Structure 1
């Protein structure tokens, strides 16, 4: 699979305490399709009409206070990017975390308080 260019927006996530309603809304509005992510209860992958490669997901969250929409930038080195963001006035919400597959992600705030994420893909197998 070809990866997007580093330092570009490569994923987005909508978090909702009412995932069925959110999926119905976006499905009706944009004709998006949703499928559970294998091995990850509480996360559904989004597929677009003409692109069968997921470009985003819906996270099932516990309550409305956790609802969000956030974009993720693909980077080569998550810890280095987090350190640079902090030097530039950003704040870390979720420190770099690795998934079982090897994907590494972090959640940050820009200086204006906007939430975004960074991730590096799992190592090529």
Structure 2
């Protein structure tokens, strides 16, 4: 979320972002813009208007978002991932743009994966370093929590999705996959390790 989308668009352009959709008002509810980071990955900014009624609804929504981030429900958006062939450029941009912090994920079984902290005490997303291996890609994508990654892959491919990677797993039992929908949009699936 942005406090002022117009100002942030201008600031992010100076850091190397390009504008795909300029700051645009959505009725009296919000302003949004869609940009691309220096590697071409799409992301969006949005801000809400400041009427009292909307502020009350926003506070309730933010409380719900915070609860969902702590305990996402199966089928819901629960993580974001940045795939990058230039991890230093990606980290530099997002640190300068939003103050994000990147920490190597030691539970990823040696995979070049970083947790992304966006201001909370827990990570909100991750960054996969694709600079070392073949077939690496630059992307930003949402990831959804599911109860069974292989079964969800089967349902998604029946609906026209294509599997790009996975299913794969970490030593801690997390199972994940990366797919594209019939229009080429990437998304991730993951399931948590069963409690011991």
Q: TM-score, normalised by structure 1?
A: 0.87
Q: Which residue of 1 aligns with 2:183?
A: 112
Q: Which residue of 2 aligns with 1:79?
A: 150
1:73 match: secondary structure: strand
Give structure 1 stretches of 5+ with no counterpart.
none
Structure 1 distance, partners of 2:138, 2:89, is 13
Where does 1:22-41 land on structure 2 (aligned, <5 Å)? 22-39=90-107, 40=110
- Structure with greater helix share of residues: 2
Q: Which residue of 2 aligns with 1:89?
A: 160
* Aligned 8 A contact 2:79 2:144 in 1: yes
Q: Which residue of 1 aligns with 2:122?
A: 53
Please list every run of at least 4 consecutive aligned residues from structure 1 whose deviation after the TM superposition is greater than 3 angstroms: none
Structure 1 distance, partners of 2:136, 2:124, is 24
Cα shift at 1:45: 1.0
1:57 match: secondary structure: strand
Give structure 2 stretches of 5+ with no counterpart.
1-69
Q: Larger RCO: Structure 1 or Structure 2 (Cα < 8 Å, ≥ 6 residues apart)?
A: 1
Q: CA RMSD in A?
A: 2.1
Q: TM-score, normalised by structure 2?
A: 0.57
Cα shift at 1:17: 2.1
Structure 1 distance, partners of 2:131, 2:118, is 26
- Structure with greater strand share of residues: 1
